[in-house]
């Protein structure tokens, strides 16, 4: 089921950034090597009360930069021309919003907060 929030996020992104997000979300190596460790780390920070949105955005920027490099390696082009920094930062903010929603819904076992 597609949520209104997801549609709004998609509408804000350029075609290139939507393509990059799809590429990242569907790459098994990026998922296991970058995305899941970021989610686990940020979940831990949230539980400890040390979570900072700005640093979360920076963490997702590493994922996006790695995804952009792999995308360009697969399909050609220049990473900085296709995916400008301001667009990558915008995508990182979208990933942060997505994480916060996932954490709120406790979609993974490591996100469950003991009471």
pLDDT one-digit tens code per residue, 20-46: 999 999 999 999 999 999 999 999 999
List Cβ neighbours of 70 (8 Å cut-off, separation of 6 or more): 23, 27, 29, 30
Residue 16 tokens read as 């290139």
Note the pTM of the prediction, 2 decimals.
0.84
CA-closest candidate to residue 63, choices 104, 98, 101, 21: 21
Structure confidence at residue 115 as a pLDDT band (50, 70, 90)? low
**What's the CA gap between 17 and 68, in Å, rounded?**
10
N- to C-terminal Cα separation, the chain: 30
> Measured between alpha carbons, how far is 98 from 63 in angstroms, rounded to an integer?
14
Span 55-66, pLDDT tens digits: 999 999 999 999
Contact (CB, 8 A) for 107 and 36: no
């Amino acid at each position: 089921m597609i949520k209104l929030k997801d549609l709004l996020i998609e509408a804000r992104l350029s075609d290139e950034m939507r393509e990059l997000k799809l590429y990242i979300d569907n790459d098994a190596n990026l998922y296991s090597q970058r995305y899941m460790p970021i989610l686990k780390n940020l979940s831990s920070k949230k539980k400890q009360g040390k979570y900072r949105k700005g640093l979360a955005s920076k963490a997702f920027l590493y994922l996006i930069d790695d995804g952009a490099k792999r995308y360009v390696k697969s399909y050609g082009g220049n990473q900085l021309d296709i995916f400008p920094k301001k667009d990558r930062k915008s995508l990182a903010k979208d990933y942060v919003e997505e994480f916060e929603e996932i954490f709120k819904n406790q979609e993974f076992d490591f996100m469950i907060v003991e009471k």
